[in-house]
Structure 1
Amino acid sequence: MKKELEKLQLKLLEFAHIGDLEKTAKTLLKLGKIYQEHGMEDHALESYENAKKLYNKCKNIGGEAQSILNVGQIYDKKGEYEKAQRMYKEACEKFKKLNDIKNQATAIYHHARVLEKQGRFEDALKVYKKYHKLCTLMDDNRKILASYAKIKSMEEYLSQEHPISYKNRSWLSLIGYPIFILFAEILTTYINVLAGLGIHALILFALLAHSSLVSDEKFKRLLNSMTILPLIRIVSFSIPVVDTPEIYRLLIMSLPLFALAYVLMRTQKLKGRDVGLTWKKPKLQFLVALTGFPIGYIEFMILYPKPFIPTSNFLYLLVGLLILLLVGFSEELLFRGILQKNSEKLLGVLPGLLYASVLFTICHIGWGSIYEFILVFFIAIFYGYMYQKTGSILGVTFSHGLSNFMLFLFMPFHLAAL
């Protein structure tokens, strides 16, 4: 191994010196392979990553795809399954562009195995079926038979592990939790605060316990994400209200929400881009942000709330705007970035959007206006759809913050001045 490594490292220096990107990348792949075979994953990963960059520079899609596939295998071996999945998907797409069916099938096979390791058997089954189709196109009888046998064994396992009654119970849970949360919200807001908070605490416990018992990873993640709803209400009533201006109370409330978002992202191994912390389609994002002004105006005409600050001087308005943007960010991160994303993964794009929008709307029942309730539902759908279109929560965050600025800071004083 040592001699082979030394030879390759000398070649690497030689090719790098003369500026031959393709040969340098190819040598890096060979180095990575040796490191990988001898259990030196970190060195292998570094070699593959560098090879990927070089292949990208010289527009060699095949080499780049192979590098990405190898990176995925390293992450797979290290148990970083989410990263491995992304790599396998990316490699598959690149091989598909090249019409390289053999390597495309390899990437899909590895992707299916990762899903299986995660216990996401239904997803794994779908990917294995794609793999089987590619094996058929390759006319590889051995792989055709092996993939067919795998599909049948997984179908049999799923029929035993997840009978119809279990699926029915899952759907009952997805319908039942919002109903109980709605009941708790009504109880807290209009009837008895302590009783309502008690129900919220029970719902929180039920969601956590339920998520620990289910084997379906997508369902587990959605249940974990739904803890947002009871926690928001529990936190909001835990903040002292004596001599605390509403605007600062909102700021204090947002801090545990950020902590919750951080915990959910860590436990679900989500990166910033997974929850919409990217600046994609800036023009559309800017237009979405501007919708905060009319939304806030319409909400004000429905609710006529009192201002959240004592005076309308510039400093108060500026601080208030920053706080409301921060609060809007915490809510969008939780509801769109995490909750909606998990809803879509389990239920599908449109049902997931509607489900997350219903949950978001339930949290706003405390305003006591049916018009506001309906409006919030459509706002939630709009924000959710824009998140789907842009892949980012930044535009909807600014819209959310600006609408609250109009509703609670600008319009109350502006109307009073007229």
Structure 2
Amino acid sequence: MQKLISFHKTSEKLSPVISALILTLVLLAIFPGTASAGNFELPSSALTGPVSDGISTEILQDETDYGFTLLPYENPSLFQKIGWYVDIIYMFGGICTGILILLTHRHITALEQKLAEFPNKKFELTRFDEISQEIFKTERLRLFTLAPVLFIALAELLIFSGRMGLAVWIHIGILIGLSLSNMLIKDLKILRIYQALMLLPVLRLINLSMPVFFETTLYAFVFIYSPLAIPLAVIVMHQKDSLEEIGITTKNFLSYVALSLPLSFLLGLGEYLTIRTGYLIPDLSFESLLKLTIIMVFFVGLVEELIFRSILQTRLEQALSVKEALLITSILFGLMHSGYGTFHEILYTGFVGLLMGIAFYKTRSLPFIVLMHGFINVFLFGILPHYLSSWTPF
């Protein structure tokens, strides 16, 4: 047992080193150009000599960003596409590898910590099995949750980079995979998380495929978010959540209404200064503001908060932990705003999602979060663009 405790202390000292190595691996994955630097050259041999001699010096010096030497009849876009796919695979594989290493390391150190806590020198195998199974179930749950989250993140990053077609196919694959998981996975916690995650590709696919019925952009939100009421109702009824669990309550409603207005203004102002949106209403008349408020609160705010907070965050809190639930939902909430095309918007909306997640966890009031979300959009797409369109803070 003394050797086990000593080994555990040694592994604790190695934890910062392992974390640094994982961080380095992830950074290399995010910036694949650092790992793929250098030019590919034909080796000097009798076989390649005549080919190299037949190519002019100008052609040999004409190289793409990926270091390939192009021949006159070759299409440079082909190499660019290959390079893109290699970069995507490299990035995704590096991040997944880093996460798997981290999960494995956490599994080993957690098991060592449990074993080191036993005061008796004699170690019972049955107790070891119980600890091992408990840790295995927890890590398995994290791994099964992480897999679709990473694929959703990859699809949204592709949308951010402008590769819409590939992102759509990945979202379709995610939706099919999560649907088929109901036949293969028996763990109820995993199934509930997967049912919640299915709503994200559904939301994105409806958003991208919905035809334009009106020239006014504001009305498009109605047709995008209304169909989501069906899967939301099915999931809530299937998982048999109580109204209190998903935050449907009128407790302290008036206080939350009063609190949501100043918070929404501050958060909406921060987002407006981040992306400088245009207005969705022609003027600030009562009729225009009423239309904007109804759509942003009862369609956009209600549907998105039901998805991210009432269903997804609640499922993750029950299966994992509060911190992990807040982290995952806020990251996904930020990435689902990748369509704006700015990295600052992803970071800011992720931060706002974290604040709203904390507020939902503390208050368990869906009306409060929905009002705050809806009023943020009212300020962002209605009031602030009309007043601050010509104002620059610096």
**1:15-42, CA deviations, whole angstroms, 9 ceiling, x for partnerless residues?**
xxxxxxxxxxxxxxxxxxxxxxxxxxxx
Partner of 2:322: 349
Please, which runs of 5 or more residues in structure 2 have no aligned partner? 1-124
Q: Number of residue pairs matched?
A: 265
Render the CA deviation track for 1:318-364: whole Å, top value 9, x for unaligned: 11111101110111111101110001000122222222222212211
**Greater helix proportion:** 1
SS at match of 2:248: coil
Which residue in the other structure is 1:174 paired with?
A: 145
Contact 1:221 1:342 in 2 (8 A): yes
The correspondence for 1:324, drawn from 288, 292, 296, is 296
Quote the Cα distance in structure 2 between the aligned partners of 1:179 and 1:219.
Answer: 16
Deviation digits for residues 207-250 of structure 1, max 9, x if unmatched? 12224422221221011101111111001012113644221111
The AA in structure 1 aligned to 2:288 is: Y
2:309 alignment partner in structure 1: 336
Residue 372 of structure 1 is matched in structure 2 by: 345
TM-score by length of 1: 0.58
Q: Give the residue type in structure 2 aligned to 1:346.
A: A
CA change 1:287–1:388 in 2 (3 A) is farther
- Please say if 1:396 is aligned against 2:369: yes
Which of 255, 265, 270 is matched with 1:293 structurally? Answer: 265
For 2:136 and 2:222, locate their aligned partners in 1 and report how far apart those are by CA, in whole Å: 45
CA distance in 1, matches of 2:309, 2:259: 15
Q: Is the 8 A contact 1:353 1:384 kept in 2?
A: yes
Conserved 8 A contact 1:246-1:309: no
| CA spacing shift, 1:389–1:272, aligned 2, 3 Å | same
Which residue number in structure 1 is paired with residue 185 of structure 2? 214
Which residue is equivalent to 1:135? none
Note the C-alpha offset of 1:369: 2.4
Instruction: Tell me the CA shift for residue 166 of structure 1.
Output: 6.7
Partner SS, residue 304 of structure 2: helix
Change (3 A) 1:287 1:311: closer
Contact 2:247 2:366 in 1 (8 A): yes
Distance 1:301 1:294, change over 3 A: same
Secondary structure, aligned partner of 1:356: helix
> In 2, Cα distance between the equivalents of 1:154 and 1:252?
56
- Which structure carries more relative contact order (alpha carbon 8 Å, separation 6+)? 2
Q: Give the distance between the partners of 2:174 and 2:294, measured in 1 at CA.
A: 33
Counterpart code for 1:181: I
Contact 2:332 2:350 in 1 (8 A): no
| 2:290 partner SS | helix
**Partner letter of residue 163 of structure 2?**
N
Percent identical: 29
Rounded to whole Å, the distance in 1 between the matches of 2:385 and 2:239 is: 41
User: What RMSD over aligned residues (CA atoms) do the two structures have, in Å?
Assistant: 2.7
5+ residue gaps, structure 1, are 1-151
TM-score, normalization by structure 2: 0.61
Separation in structure 2 between the aligned mates of residue 390 and residue 163 of structure 1, nearest angstrom: 31
Whichever residue aligns with residue 408 of structure 1, its letter is F
Q: 1:154 to 1:233 in 2, by over 3 A?
A: farther
1:117-145 deviations in whole A, cap 9, x for unaligned?
xxxxxxxxxxxxxxxxxxxxxxxxxxxxx
Secondary structure, aligned partner of 1:306: coil
User: After superposition, what is the alpha-carbon deviation per residue over 1:64-87, rounded to whole angstroms, capped at 9, x for unaligned?
Assistant: xxxxxxxxxxxxxxxxxxxxxxxx
Q: Is contact 2:213–2:220 with CA below 8 Å preserved after alignment?
A: no
Deviation of 1:384 after TM superposition, in Å, equals 1.0
* 1:370 shift after superposition: 2.5
Provide the rounded CA distance (Å) in 2 between the counterparts of 1:417 and 1:187: 33
Question: What does residue 276 of structure 2 align with?
Answer: 304
